[in-house]
Structures are given as C-alpha cells and as structure tokens.
Structure 1
Amino acid sequence: MVMMDQLSQLPFCKNWTENFCSSDQRKESTIYFLVLEVSEKHEQVETSWPQCSFKVLRLLNEQSGEERVLQLRDEWCYSVVAPGDTIHVIGEFDSEGKCEINRRENFLIVHPDILVSGTRVAGSFSCSRRAVLDERLKSGEYSAAALIGTLLHQMFQAGLIRESPTKEFLEDYARVVLQKSLESLYACGVNENDTHKTLIEAIPKLLNWIRSFRYSEVSESPSIDFGSEDGAKKIKVSEVLDIEEMAWAPKYGLKGMIDASLQVNVKSNTNVPNEMIMPLEFKTGKATNGQAAMEHNAQVMLYTLLMSERYSQHIGHGLLYYLHTDQTQGITVCRSDLVGLIMRRNELANDLLKASITQQLPPMLQSPNMCRGCRHLNVCTIYHKAYGGTTEGSGLGSVFDSLVSHLTNAHNNFLQKWDQLIDLEAKEVEVVKKQIWSSQSLKNDLYAPCLSSLVLDTSERATPANFSKGNQFTYHFVHRDWTSLGTHQQDRAALNSSIFPVKKFESSLRNGDYVVLSTEPSGKLIATGVVVDMSCSSISVSLSKRLRLPGSSRTSQAQDLHQQLWRIDKDEFMGSFAIMRFNLIQLFLQNEQSSHLRKMIVDLEVPRFDSGCQFSQDPAISYIWSEKNLNDDQRRAILKILTAKDYALILGMPGTGKTSTMVYAVKALLMRGSSILLTSYTNSAVDNLLLKLKFQVISILDAT
C-alpha cells in the first residue's frame, strides 16, 4: 500500500492528503452543525487591492450545545448556505472554536444527510434541472442504448473477475445476459440478433483490456497518462476488489455505484512500484470528448472520495475506459477540482431540498439545441407549465407550446397537489433513513425498523455451504450475546427461554423487507439485501453478492467478518417515491394512453360499462347469476366489474363481504381466461384474499 507520508510528497495531492488525514482523525470534524447565523464581511489585505468578501457562519453543535464560528473564504464565499441549514465541516476548529475554509484547506458539506449521486453531480454542470429530475424520477423503462450499455458492463465485469477469461467464455456469457434481458429488449423494441451482434463485436476490445491490464507483467503493462504533473505510469491490476460496489459517504454527502474497485500496481518513471486502490469507470457510449468527457472525469474524481471514505485511506487516482475508442485515461485528483465538485454538490443538494419542500425545480436551461435532445423534455416542460411557467420562460417557443397545450388549470392543480403529497410522505420516511448513518440511533426503540449489535452466526445451521444459492448469498445474524452460549441445539432452545439474559429480537422488520447492512460503531454501509428469515433469536439476509469488508485481505476476510459488529436497517426508499412521481407525471403526457388515464383519474370522466352484453353467452355472468352464496348487492357489484370498460369501484363498510365478493369476481374473470393482478396497501389484506381463493381451489401465481 502507498503510505500517507509517501503521498504527501506528491505535489498534486499534498494539501488534499493533509486535509483527508486531519478530517479522518479528529472526531469533531464528523459532527453535524446547525447554522444559526450567516453574515458577510469585507476586508482589505493591501491598500491597493480591492476589498475581499468572506462569510462568517455561527454554528451550533446540537449534541453538546457548544457554538462554533466558521469563515468561508475565496470560492467558498459564494456557497449557498442559510440559517437553519445543517452542515458538516471537514477541518479542525482551533482552541477558540474557529475554523476557516479556503481554496487551500478544509471542505464544507451543506445538507450532508442528502446523499447525492456522483453521476448526478457530474451531470449537473450542464443542466441542474435535469440532475434534479434524474434524482426525483425513476422508471423501470430502458432506452436501447442504456440497456446495451448495461449488458456490456455485465460482460466486462464478468471477464474482470474471471481467472484468465477466454473469448469463448465471454461469448457464452453474452448469450446468458441476453437471455436474461429478453423482456427488456422487447420493451425497448430492440432486435435480439442485432443486440447479440453488438455484444460479440465488443469482445475483442474487452478481452484485450483485461489481458493487457490484468495478466501482463508490470514491465509490459500499458502506460497510462495521468496528466502533466503526474505523467505516465505503467498499470497492472493485481486484484479486483469488487464490482458494482455500493459506496455511501455521508461525510461528503455523496453516494455512488462504482463499476470496478481495483488494487493496482503502479510503476512510474522512478521504477518504484506502488500498490494503490483505484476506481475504474467503464463507458460504452460514443461521447468521449467535450462536455461528456468533463462529466466522466468529474465522476471518477468523486468516486475517489467515496472510496477514500469506504477504504479509510487516501485514493487520489482513477481509471476511465472508453470502449468505443478502446482508450484508457488516467485521472489524477487535485484539490482545485475537488473544491469545484464539492461546491457543485452543495448547490445540487440545495436544489433537491428545495424541490422536496416547495416542489420548485431549478429554472429551465432555455437552450433549444440541448433541450430538444434531452430525455426529460416532456416531463421538464410539463412541470414548467404546471408551476406557472410561461412559453418565454421555457426558451423553447413553439416546441414548448406543442408539448403542453393540452394541459388545463385542473391538470396543473392535480399535479401540484399529488406532487406535494408524495414529498410529504417521503419526508416522513426520510427521518428513518437518516438514522442509518447519524449518531442518533433508533436501537433503544424496541420496535424500530432496525437491529443492532449483531454478529454472523457461526453455528452448524450457518455453514458456508448454506450461504450461496444461485446468484444470491444468504447470511445469518444473531445478537452478540448469543456468542457467549454454545452452538448446540439445546443452547439455541435455551435462548428462547428466560433462563439466559440474552437479548431477543424485537423489531418491526419482517420477511421480504429490503434492508441496509452497516458496521458498528463506524456506521459504514456495506451492502443492501432482503430479509428471508427471521425469528426471535436470528435474522437471515439475502445479498446479491458475497459479503465483504472494504480493505480486508482475502486471507483474513472470513475472520474479519465474524469479528465485526453489524447493524441492519430497513431500507425505506428503494426508489418507491421516485417511481410514484414518475407514474404521476405520466398522466400528463401527450399520447393516447395518457390521455385516456387522465380523463379517468384527473378529469373524473364517468367510467363506461358494456350494456349490450349477451348474458346467456358469457359463462362468467351466467356463473354469477347462478351462485347462491352471493346476496343481491354482491351480485350487482361483480356484474359491474364484469361489464366495466374502464374501471369499477366497489365500496363497503368493514365486514360487509368485500373480500368474499372479490373471491367470486376473480373466479368469474378466470372463466373468461383473464389475467388478474391482486394488490393491496397491506400484505395482510392480500394474504386474506389468497387464503380464500385457495379454499376455492383456484390456482395462484404468487409474484412475491
């Protein structure tokens, strides 16, 4: 590994390294502060120079009640920060409780509890409105380019972790990923054979990169240019630490998914090899220069911050590989770049917070050339119109009018109302999410959606052979007090008795819940998974890949995992609110399907029913008329369902037989050969209905 004293000798990272070390070692720098007051000051360093402005922030440590003073100088003076904001200061306060942030030292993180994607930060330089929409909206839809890019990523990553991959291996893997993505291919309207051809054509480049960078001798490794100050370096990948590594860094208010985390042997002109950790970003698109290249560079730089936090060491370089040109670029992190990126991250966090509170987005870009090709053009213009925007304010002229002319005031009001309601619900859930990395733990609440002080179960039931199944890995956790007992069955039974003072699990977590797995007491987020089994003494979580601790060696990995204390929190988000917003905005698009839904849901057009149905020729209707267990109200309700062209709403007080009515309605619809989706706000309601259907000997496909 490259030691900190070695790194500090390098001119490109000296200040950045010192700042990293100091912020990592001093406890106070990890505390969040409440901004009490912001004032702007002026000073004149030299009589012949113009006055310099700087900001002074009066801060409160809400945990200790102590106040601090922070000065923002140079570029940081332009930071958007106001009383009531929460900030994180990466730097040291002196004995008088003062700290200064300038272009040479320290960092300011505004709203650190808003974890912003590194990709969003990098993309926000060209349009902050698009970045906010990317964060607030999520769909299950794929574009053809994005889908093919995902498949190429999977192939490249499979080759990276494969021992000496061959052309035949990648060809076979291409067929595997293609078969798994057939549904998405058809949804995008992409031809399967054309996609397969694209994947096969990429294999020589993928294989050449892997062989050149991973399996060659260091002396023969490719030479990568890391910039004018750092020069060319020969790079050899000595180990692939992880692929698709989830990295959350509340310290910087950042999150990201890193294509590949590499242990790299670096040899510069001094011929002294060094071991470094680097992120590798893999790009499959054709854009390799201009604005796109700047965004890609920024993305890699932010990933070095994420990995520095995750691996608890300075990471100052990254790799960027463009498949289209088959070129690999070295990225060197400089403090001046980080200052600009962190400040942009702070601005984006402000924009996201404002959008969640007032539903106001950053202004439109007003650039017809860029806006016409934007994936959010329809959504962006609808939001602009709904919140009082004008044609002149859009900067798009007749293009804007053509996209929103169908919207009425009633439509605008509906969108505003439900957009706000979604944000209010998201705000309630976000309080729980922040507990995962904040110092205010929920563990004192017996029925909180989390479990703490856990260790991996080492009993017979948790042998490694039971860990993996297909592409899923299941890990069993028990409370650390369990380790004081034996691993025999009688000890496990004793755990459920009152003889042993061992903590039992009391939590609102349930089977099927999405969860986040983190370490204690550091609070480092390690993985996300799903609860697959839970009892009063243990919990089992299924992960998509093997559990590993960042920075742990292969030889000590198993021991480190078992010595680690763990915490499991319910992942309340999983993009659900972003999906809600996406589905809401779909109602207002200008197409036939959206128009029909808009008439039904927003305009409250009366639903249509088939009045000319030949009852005698419909076995479903004949069945309902002949079913003696139905009363007249239930029969009329089911007939409404069977004759509905749009929808039917069945209302009834508790205990009036709504569930029983639905059982017979499902049975009648099945007689027509219909496919039926059953859903409810609660699992118990669905379970109750399924049990009654099972009693009727009706075949059920359980999609859960």
Structure 2
Amino acid sequence: MESRKRQLSDVASEDFETKRLKVDVKENVNEYSNDSFDDFCSTILKNSPGKRKPIYPLFLSVRQYRFSEDIPRQRSQKIHLEDVDDDDDSFDTPATSSKVLPTPKKSTIKDSGVAGFPCLFDDDNVVYLTVTKVDKREEGCIDLECVDKQRKTRVIYLQDQWAELDVEVGNAINLIAPQVWGNDDYIVNNQKGIVILNPNALVSCTAVASATFCARKTILNEKFKFGNASNKAMLLGNIVHEIFQTAITNKKRPLVDSDLLKIWTTQAPKYAEDLVALSFTPTCLDAELQPYFSVICNWINKHYPTSTGLFTKREPLPSKSQLLEVHDIEENIWDSKLGLKGKVDVTMRTKSKKGMESLELKTGKSSQSSEHAGQVLLYCMMQSSRYEQPIGPGNILYLKDGISRCVNPRAPELSGILQQRNMLSVSFEDPTTNKLPAPRQDSRFCGKCDHKVMCSFYQKNEEKFVKSNDSLKDFAEREMAHLEQSHMDYASNWIRWISAEWKCERERVQVQNKDLWLKSIEERVEEKTCISDLHSISEEISNSQRVIITFSRKSTVTDSPFRPGDVCLLSNKKNVAIAFTVIDFVSDDVIKISSDKTVKCRYDAPFHLDKYTSMSTHSTTLGNLVYFLQNDEIGMRLRNVLVDLLPPAIVDINGANISAAVKKIIIKAKLNNEQRRAVVHALATEDYMIVEGLPGSGKTTLISVLIQCLVATNKKVLLTAFTHSAVDNILGKLTKEVSNEKILRLGSSSTIKDDVRTLTLKSKLEGETSEDYYVAVRRVMKTTVVGLASFPFGIQLFQPIVACTCHHVPRELLFSYRHFDVVIIDEASMVLEPLLLPVLATSKKFVLVGDCQQLTPLVVSRKAKQEGASISTMEKLQKNHPTAVVSLTSQYRMNRELSALSSKLFYENRLICGNEAVSRSSLDRSGSYAVPIDLDGNFCFDHIRKALSGDIADSCVFLDTQSPINHSMQCENGESCGMNNDGEAKIISELCQRFIESGVKPNEIGVMSAYRKQVDHIRNVVKNEDLEVNNGKSIIYTRTLFFQVNTIDSYQGREKRVIIWSLTWTDNSDKKSELLRDERRINVALTRARQKLVVVGCKKSAESIPVLYRFSQLLTNHLTVPH
C-alpha cells in the first residue's frame, strides 16, 4: 500500500490553479423548505459520530493537480481537494512525463433530489469494496486499502466525519458517488461521497432512528430479546395501525366511525391473546379505540376521498403532493446498497416528480421527535433507491391528535443518519461481539429502561465502568447490588458461550440472507436454496386473514428444496424480499404459499422464493439471562438453584399423604414400583425432583400419570420438552384419560401432530368466524369454565394443563401472566440451561425427566463445550443432589439381546427388561415374519439372509462393508460440512425392500445416520429406486411415504421395530468422526430398535473409535459385504 500511495508533499511543489467558488445557500437547500422539523438537523448532527455542523454556505476549493504515474500513493497531510473540475480530466500529466493516464469514464449525472447529496439509484455511482488494510493517520484521517469485485486494489481516503468510522480488515463497504482520485482511488469527505459500512448487514430503520436517543439500548434490544409481556400502548398501536391501513384501502367513501368499528370486529380474533394478557374486555377496548376513529376518518376523507377517479378534489398531503393511490401497506424494503431494511406503514403514489412517498403512523400525540423524523428520512432514501426516483419528502401522521407533518430531506441530516447507521452496523454485522456503544451519559432516563439490568451488568462486570460517568456508575452499582460475583460470572460465561455458538452457526450455515444480492438467481437455484420463474395463478384470503398465493412454474421442479412449513422470502427481479411467506404446498409444477400481503397487482412476475435463515434463537437465549439477573423472587430462586446449588427440601415418601383419587389413578395405570415411587416423590416435593429414566423405561407413561394426579389435586401444570414430538407423545397418552377441554397445546399447528392438534387454541375456536366473535368466545367459555362467562377470553387462562416446547415459552404471551403449581420438563438432559430459565420462572416446583447418558445439549463451539456449556441442568443437579433422584431401570422396549448391549456399555448392567414378554420379543415370534426362500438381489445369499434373520440371537448384526478393499463403500466428503456414503445408502435401500418382503410394515422400519447429509442422500436413493414389493398380497409400497429416515439426534425418544443404522464415516476421510465419538449419541442409536438392529458400515473404521470398538467386541454377528 505504502509503495503505491500518492505523495502529496511532492505534488505541492508542482503548478496548480486554485479557484474559490462561493456556493449560494439556496442551492444547498431542497425545494421543500417549509420543514416542520427545522430543529431536526442539529439533533441528528449532535448525535451522529461526526458531530459536524451544517456545511452551507460552502467554499469549495478546486485544485487541478498534475501527477506522474510513478508517484506513490501516500499523503503527508490531509487532502484539501474538495472537488475536481468536471470539464477536465481528473489529473493532467506534467510536461516532463511521457506517460498519459487514462481519463475515468464519465456517467450521466442523475438528479438526487437533494442538493449536496448523491443520487441513490445510479448504480454506476456505487463501488463495492472489501477492506484489506486500515491506516489511521495522526491528522484524523483514514486510508483504506481495498479490493473491488474484480480483485483490483484501490485506496480510499476517508476524511471529516467519515474518518470516524470503526473500520476493520475484512469489512465490506459501499462507496456512493465518491470523488475519483487518479484512476484507481477515491476520496470521501463532507462535500463528496457517502460510505456505507458493512452494507450486507441490513440495519432496521427503527433501530437507526432509536439510536438517536441511546445507541447502547438499540444494540441491547437486538442482542438480548427479553420479555413476552404486552402492554396497553403497544396493543392499541398495533390495532390502530391495522385499522388505518385497512380503511385507506377500503373503497367506501366517505368513511364514518361505524365503518372502522366493522373493520375492528373482523380483526379482533387475532388479538385475543393480547386481550387476555391485559384483561381487556371488548367494551373497554372499543372505548379506547373510539377517539382514533374520527382522526382516521377525517384524514382519509380529506386526502384520499376515493380510491378511483384521478380528478376527484382532494387536499394535498403535508408534503404538498397529491395522493393518487395507495401502492402498498407495510411495504417490506431490503436495501443492500444502503445497508437498511424497514417496513413502510403506507406507501403512496403521488402526483409529483418524486413519485412514491411514505406515510408513517404514530399512535401518540404530535411531537418534534428527531427519532420519528430520522425514521422517515431513511424511508425516503430507500424509496429513492427502490423506485429510481429523486429523494422526496416523507409524511408523519399522529393519530392521537390528527396532526400531520412533512419531513423534508436535506444533505446534512441524510449523511448524519447514515453515519449513525454505520456506527450500529458493527454490531449488526457481528452480533456475537461483546463490545457495546457507550451508554447515554444521563442516568435520569435509565430507571424506566427495559434493558437497565443487562446494561448495568455490562457496565460493572464487562466494562469495569470505563464508559460510564459517576451517575451511571452509581445507578449500575445499585442495580447489581443483589448479585454475588459468582452470579455475575455465571451470566458472563453464558454470554460468552452463546455468542460462540452464534458465531459457529453463522460460519457453518449454508444459506445466508445476503446471498439474495451477492449471488445470482441461477447460482442460488443451483445450490438448491431458491426456486425461480414463478408466475402467480391466483390469490385468495384464508379464514385467518392470510393471503394464499398459488404459483405455477413453466419448468417442473423434481427435487424441490422446500417443504411445507418452511419460511421463505418472496422476491422478483427488481425487488428483494417483497414479503415473508410460509410454504403450504409443493408439487413439481405448483407451489402454494401464505403471505400477509397480495403481490399480483403490485409487482411484476416472474417471482422467486429463497430460503430464509433466522438466528433469532440465540438472541432469545441470551435474553433469558435477564430472568437470572433480576432483583426479584424469580431471579433469587434461579440463582439459589443453579449457582448456589442449594439442596431441595427432604421428602418423606413413606409419610406422604396420598388422596384416594391419586391412588386410583396409580393403580389403574399399573405402574411398577420405581414409577410409583417417582410419582409420589414428585407430588410431595416442595422444590424439585429428578426422574432418571433409562431407555424404554416408561418415562412418557410416568409423566402422563403424574399430570393426571396433579390435576386430580387441583394443580395447574405446565408440560414442556425439548422437542415437539416428546410433548405430543405425552399428550397422546394423556388425552385418553383427561378431557381435551382441560388441555391447551401451544405452538405452530404445522409442528404439532395431527392426533393432538385439536388441543390448540385455533382448533378450540374453529368455526367461530362471525363478526360477533366476542359473543362466540363467551359461548365457548360457558361450556369450558362454569361461572366465568363474564371473562370473554378465558380459554387459555383456565386450562389446568398447558403444553409446549421449551423454546416456545419465552415467546408466548400467556406466560407473562400465567403461573403454575408444577412444571414438568421432559428430555431435560438435552436442554441448554439458559433455555430453561423462562420455563423454571413459571413455577416454584419443577420435575426434570430425562437420561444424562443419552443426548446432551447440542453445543457446536469446541471451546464452549470444553468450558462446560454442554452440561445440562439435570446433570448438574443430579450430581450434586443424588437424594433428589429417582431412577427407572426397568425397560419395556428392547429384547434381552439389544438391552444387554446398552446396559453393559453405558449403565453398569443396571438396565433390565421389565417383563419376560419384552425380554423374549423377536421378529420370528411375531408370527407374521418370514424371510422368502428364493431371495435374489445384489448380495450374497448367505450374508443377506443372516442380516434379515428374525432369530433373537441375531437381533443385532454388523454388516461390514470392508471399505479399504471395497472402494465403492467409502464415504464422500461434502464441500462445506457433512459427508455421505453412496454404497451404504444402496445397501440400506436393498435391506428395506427385503424386510418388507419378509413381513415388516414400512412404517415399522427406521433408518438413521449421525450425518444430515447421509440422511438426505438415503432419502434420494430410496426415492429414485422405488420398487414394487410383492409378498404375496399384491401390495405396492412406495417407500418414500412410509420410511422414516432421520438423524440419530432426531430419533431421541422414538422407537421402531427394525432400525438400520448407517455409520457413513470411513477412515479414508480427511474429516474426523466427531459425531460418532460421542458415547451418548451412540447410546441413543443402540436403544431405538425393539427387535432388530442392523449396523451398516466399515468394521475396521468403526473400531478406530473407542466406543464403537467396545460395541464391536460385544457383538458375535459380524457379516461382510462381498466386493
């Protein structure tokens, strides 16, 4: 870099001509000068990193330098060149030089609409660069060495406010209309050019605007998602917004209050849960909404009297434009040029040269808020970029008092708000960073801040108050006074570990949202993350007010990358991320999606769908730590249990008072002695207890009986588990004994099993679609809770049993006001401890059920795992308080041969068969299993017959593929992660066919692998080799409809009559076999089969892994695949 920099001290001695140009102030002011936010400029500039003052009137110094091509790129002082004569070459060649520098190609200058600010829709003005070197100079400037898309090196000189950017090597930057310096370099300063740092990190307009008040709060809000509570202002704001947006698109004019009331009536069902949480009655809410109705009607009737007829007289908007039509509602804009994203409340097509204008709705009273104005300015810029129009004004309407104002864009404010966005982008680009902006140096505002706990924690424990003044330090000390150092160390460790996990996922995820603009459609289609060439056939409104859009595709998609329930982004050639959608149906030539908006009339075909990657789980998990840090009863209880490890109160099981109703339930369930002891202990405990349930020991049955007993004693129960299948399996048993009216299943219907879907709130209210929804809910309540009909939305409030996954609890509004007598957590050994914090916060008593010898919490970061992140709450408490543990060792799943393997390898021979029938179970003894005599196929008859043997002695067989000499059986490494083994996949396909021919039903066969890529490969092999299977019954089985092929981890808690396990990995691979070295994962694999387990893999490779070597030594049935 130094060898190529231009030495300006040498240049100074050469001839140059300086011109002083005085620029009239009026030329720098946009034509819309009657801005109601005239004081906004000083606010933005004061809070922007540059803290610069308005730059007009200006004196621009224009110097015509002469350079030799040999002069290096170096400067000894700040460059005072503010502009270059547009009528001349950028640089003239001195007379002494025989070389002539090429003149940069000029592009037609397009009008930005704002004097002193560049055009945002001229792509020729934008340069995308990656920083390779950063040189921060003493005079307050920054020199950046970068490479462009063609890998050509360029030097960027940042001056004035742009020199305050926190740029690092590896950052991406967009330069918009920079000053060309020579042929390869650029200058950006207050007068020329804009820098967008980390443009691929799209920062929301709301976040940028809110950072005007406190940037630290903005970042904390993104990184720590905490709180599932609603509030009155938020609820009213959402409802009023939607009423306005629906009303303005309604054709009826003039609008009156009763019209808005009808709109609200149709929208009321979706707000039922919020109304429950806030104890709002319909009458009360109608009264709250009434003042807004007149404002909405007056504004729409005045500015948009009809949705048709361009010559109808209408009053101009605050921007002086005339509203022609509403183009979109909640328009979703992702702008990678500016690094911004946002949703515009109302996008209006206006009668002006600016074209589209935004209308931002605010529920409160009118104010001179710089946050509100800043948000609108960002929308103005994004609309200019999307619609290729000059930057025009924006509009704000305050719905409380009906005041509407215009926000006129001016260059200083626009640059200032973009610089504010740049400052935030550092954290948005890498949310795992532990660096936060300095807090607002005024503690008066901290007391009511939603993030005061985490902010104070960072100030004291992470930053040691280096960013805080004395008042902030005093405030933070008071907020953290209740915590011991061990408590803060606990939170600090988990922040570090979760951030490490977040970083690992960002690095390994194959589908990234930035691919939408960094990769072509063709590339994404090739990578199977996108489906293109979609044309809308029809749009219809569903009962839930979602838009169902059906697309056709001219060329069929035989292997669609999407499945029902997948979240996708809908785009067209011109606009990225028009809408978030959910896949409802997929076939070879038709795709049906649900969306919150119509697209057919607003956007041009063809469309394409891209997979959407969300990493919000990590920010929610981090936010859960607030439960632990808070100074309240819940926080104290969590600290006592998880850090101080206080023991639970001792329980005297023998002296427990068991009611007759409970005894009746236990007797009816025919529990064994261990299960009875566990139920009684759980009923008697005052704090918590642990049920260690070995594989097949009846944990699901136990939990079902325990819930029945708790409900019989008038207790409210929360049932959670790590997976949906575990929750639904328990509910499947429970519904046979407990009325459905007493159970509420929370979560998305697409993730819930069909047989328990009737337990969801949606199902309970199905058919209640009339406008009198409140009355319909009251009617449901009368049959559900006697004597509480006056409370209209009591369905959730009074269900004694609520069930969902652990992940759902921090997102569910119900848990902001519901508390339970007991919470039961199944699969507790699999749950990351921070995920349990909001679950444990719902009750003073909890029961953990699981098996610490099976899967632990999934932790990808090796460092985090080594430091203890994978130790579950159950494992920690079980180790420290063994008296709180009841073990279930009698299993009712595997026969004696299969049970013995796991018992010897992992349980010190504690795992035993529960009865003789289970012990002797085998394929042969079922009476319907018989291996055909005349087997044909690709394998030697003797070996394949042995693998299919139904004899109990052959319950577990190892089919050795001999990969060292049979190269077709060697694994193949993927380009990024994972591996597959085509030879094993074909063997498994053959085995499945033969098992079916022998009498095993397809849905009784399970296929597993530790590797996701092998699972996908086996599915494809089975799909491509569908064969007719005729076992004398003339039945054709399509295996893709019946076989369950999944990862070992997904099989936790499940069982099949026959399990076929693909080891996949062979020692020719340059990748380590980390997944197969996890003994707990191997335990899961060995304990899923009831009667037959076939392991397919290379014996030599497997025996290089200690746990598989021990397993191999226990087996006597080793078969080999001929080569």
**Pairwise same-fold verdict (TM > 0.5):** yes
Which residue in the other structure is 2:1054 paired with? none
Please tell me whether residue 541 in structure 1 is matched to residue 593 in structure 2. Answer: yes
1:107-506 aligned within 5 A = 107-138=194-225, 139-163=227-251, 164=253, 165-175=255-265, 180-181=270-271, 183-188=273-278, 193-215=283-305, 221-222=314-315, 233=320, 235-266=321-352, 274=353, 276-286=355-365, 288-289=367-368, 293-353=369-429, 356-387=431-462, 389-390=464-465, 393=469, 395-396=471-472, 399-430=475-506, 431=509, 432-440=511-519, 450-456=529-535, 458=537, 463-464=538-539, 468-477=542-551, 480-482=554-556, 503-506=557-560
Amino acid at match of 1:279: S
Deviation at 1:473, TM superposition (A): 1.4
Deviation at 1:602, TM superposition (A): 3.9
* Cα distance in 2 between the residues matched to 1:578 and 1:202: 35
Q: 1:678–1:457: structure 2 CA closer, same or farther, 3 Å change rule? A: farther
* Cα distance in 1 between the residues matched to 2:109 and 2:367: 30
* Cα distance in 1 between the residues matched to 2:520 and 2:713: 54
Q: 1:545–1:393: structure 2 CA closer, same or farther, 3 Å change rule? A: same
- Does the 8 Å CA contact 2:326/2:348 hold for their aligned counterparts? yes
* Cα distance in 2 between the residues matched to 1:481 and 1:9: 42
Give CA deviations for 1:220-267 in whole Å, capped at 9, x if unaligned. Answer: 6445665xxxxxx2x33211112222222122111112111111224x
* Cα distance in 1 between the residues matched to 2:569 and 2:520: 14
Which residue in the other structure is 2:133 paired with? 37
* Cα distance in 1 between the residues matched to 2:731 and 2:526: 28
* Cα distance in 2 between the residues matched to 1:480 and 1:683: 37
- Does the 8 Å CA contact 2:465/2:473 hold for their aligned counterparts? no
> Unaligned 5+ residue runs, structure 2?
1-106, 749-1123
Give CA deviations for 1:290-321 in whole Å, capped at 9, x if unaligned. Answer: xxx21111110001122233334444221111
Give CA deviations for 1:416-452 in whole Å, capped at 9, x if unaligned. Answer: 1222233233334445333443424798799978332
Instruction: Find the residue that maps to 1:181 and give its secondary structure.
Output: helix
Please tell me whether residue 569 in structure 1 is matched to residue 611 in structure 2. Answer: yes
Q: 1:369–1:114: structure 2 CA closer, same or farther, 3 Å change rule? A: same
Q: 1:214–1:646: structure 2 CA closer, same or farther, 3 Å change rule? A: farther
Instruction: Find the residue that maps to 1:134 and give its secondary structure.
Output: helix
Which residue in the other structure is 2:840 paired with? none
Amino acid at match of 1:364: P
* Cα distance in 1 between the residues matched to 2:359 and 2:585: 36
Please tell me whether residue 511 in structure 1 is matched to residue 611 in structure 2. Answer: no
- Does the 8 Å CA contact 2:363/2:400 hold for their aligned counterparts? yes
Q: 1:277–1:334: structure 2 CA closer, same or farther, 3 Å change rule? A: same
* Cα distance in 2 between the residues matched to 1:518 and 1:602: 48
- Does the 8 Å CA contact 2:114/2:391 hold for their aligned counterparts? no
Q: 1:618–1:696: structure 2 CA closer, same or farther, 3 Å change rule? A: closer
Deviation at 1:393, TM superposition (A): 4.7
Which residue in the other structure is 1:632 paired with? 673
Amino acid at match of 1:256: G
- Does the 8 Å CA contact 1:7/1:13 hold for their aligned counterparts? no
* Cα distance in 2 between the residues matched to 1:691 and 1:536: 34
Deviation at 1:688, TM superposition (A): 4.5
Amino acid at match of 1:368: S
- Does the 8 Å CA contact 1:73/1:102 hold for their aligned counterparts? yes
Which residue in the other structure is 2:97 paired with? none
- Does the 8 Å CA contact 1:278/1:315 hold for their aligned counterparts? no
Which residue in the other structure is 2:954 paired with? none
Give CA deviations for 1:584-612 in whole Å, capped at 9, x if unaligned. Answer: 21221112233223323343333447648
Amino acid at match of 1:619: A
- Does the 8 Å CA contact 1:58/1:67 hold for their aligned counterparts? yes
Give CA deviations for 1:509-540 in whole Å, capped at 9, x if unaligned. Answer: 443333322335x5711111222334566543
Q: Which has the higher contact order (CA 8 A, sep 6+)?
A: 1
Please tell me whether residue 13 in structure 1 is matched to residue 114 in structure 2. Answer: yes
- Does the 8 Å CA contact 2:427/2:433 hold for their aligned counterparts? no
Deviation at 1:326, TM superposition (A): 2.3
Residues 580-589 or 408-417, more deviating: 580-589
- Does the 8 Å CA contact 1:449/1:570 hold for their aligned counterparts? no
From the two aligned structures, give the one with the greater helix fraction.
Answer: 1
Instruction: Find the residue that maps to 1:99 and give its secondary structure.
Output: strand
Deviation at 1:380, TM superposition (A): 2.3
Instruction: Find the residue that maps to 1:251 and give its secondary structure.
Output: coil
Amino acid at match of 2:305: Y
Please tell me whether residue 69 in structure 1 is matched to residue 149 in structure 2. Answer: no
* Cα distance in 2 between the residues matched to 1:56 and 1:253: 22
* Cα distance in 2 between the residues matched to 1:124 and 1:360: 16
- Does the 8 Å CA contact 2:432/2:502 hold for their aligned counterparts? no
Deviation at 1:113, TM superposition (A): 2.3
- Does the 8 Å CA contact 1:174/1:199 hold for their aligned counterparts? no
Which residue in the other structure is 1:580 paired with? 621
* Cα distance in 1 between the residues matched to 2:519 and 2:115: 35
Which residue in the other structure is 1:59 paired with? 146
- Does the 8 Å CA contact 2:546/2:597 hold for their aligned counterparts? yes
* Cα distance in 1 between the residues matched to 2:715 and 2:344: 44
Deviation at 1:412, TM superposition (A): 0.8
Which of 617, 627, 640 is the equivalent residue of 1:599? 640
Deviation at 1:205, TM superposition (A): 1.5
Residues 377-386 or 144-153, more deviating: 377-386
Amino acid at match of 1:160: I
Which of 78, 86, 103 is the equivalent residue of 2:172? 86
* Cα distance in 1 between the residues matched to 2:521 and 2:328: 31
Deviation at 1:397, TM superposition (A): 5.9
* Cα distance in 2 between the residues matched to 1:194 and 1:389: 48
- The percent identity for this pair of structures is 26
* Cα distance in 1 between the residues matched to 2:248 and 2:531: 35
* Cα distance in 1 between the residues matched to 2:460 and 2:596: 42
Which residue in the other structure is 1:620 paired with? 662
> Unaligned 5+ residue runs, structure 1?
43-51, 227-232, 267-273, 483-502, 549-553
Q: 1:421–1:477: structure 2 CA closer, same or farther, 3 Å change rule? A: farther
Q: Count residues with an aligned counterpart.
A: 627
Residues 189-198 or 619-628, more deviating: 189-198
Amino acid at match of 1:569: K
* Cα distance in 2 between the residues matched to 1:351 and 1:647: 40
* Cα distance in 1 between the residues matched to 2:688 and 2:524: 43
Deviation at 1:372, TM superposition (A): 3.0
- Does the 8 Å CA contact 1:282/1:320 hold for their aligned counterparts? yes
* Cα distance in 1 between the residues matched to 2:665 and 2:438: 58
Alignment RMSD (CA, Å): 3.6
Amino acid at match of 2:259: F
Amino acid at match of 1:102: N
TM-score by length of 1: 0.79
Deviation at 1:41, TM superposition (A): 5.3
- Does the 8 Å CA contact 1:450/1:568 hold for their aligned counterparts? yes
Deviation at 1:694, TM superposition (A): 6.2
TM-score by length of 2: 0.51
* Cα distance in 2 between the residues matched to 1:690 and 1:191: 32
